[in-house]
Amino acid sequence: MIIFDKLWVIMKEKNVSTYQLREKCGIDSKTIRRLRANDNMETKTLNKLCTALDCKLEDIAEYIPDE
């Protein structure tokens, strides 16, 4: 399972709100909810997040094996 717990940490470190993500890179509220629920994400969305936060994919997402 891919989880996005690191995303919220890096957003806090960089002082970026979900509002700013929506405005800065066009990520809608539904996508924010899906990120919070660790739902599937398109690679273009992940690309937008990495660009907006100036980070690498591994800074915002993590693979956790299913048990």
Helix, strand, coil percentages, rounded to 5, for the chain: 60, 5, 35
The mean pLDDT value for 12-22 works out to 94
Which class does domain 2-63 fall in? mainly alpha
For residue 5 the two structure tokens come to 């717990």
Instruction: Classify residue 61 as left (phi > 0), alpha (psi -120 to 50) or beta.
Output: beta
The more confidently predicted of residues 66 and 5 is 5
Dihedrals φ, ψ of 62, to 5°? -145, 140
Report the pLDDT averaged over residues 41-49: 95
pLDDT in tens, 18-39: 999 898 788 999 999 999 999 9
Q: Does the pLDDT at position 67 exceed 80?
A: no
Residue 25 has what pLDDT?
A: 81
> Strand, coil or helix: what is 6?
helix
Mean pLDDT of the chain: 94
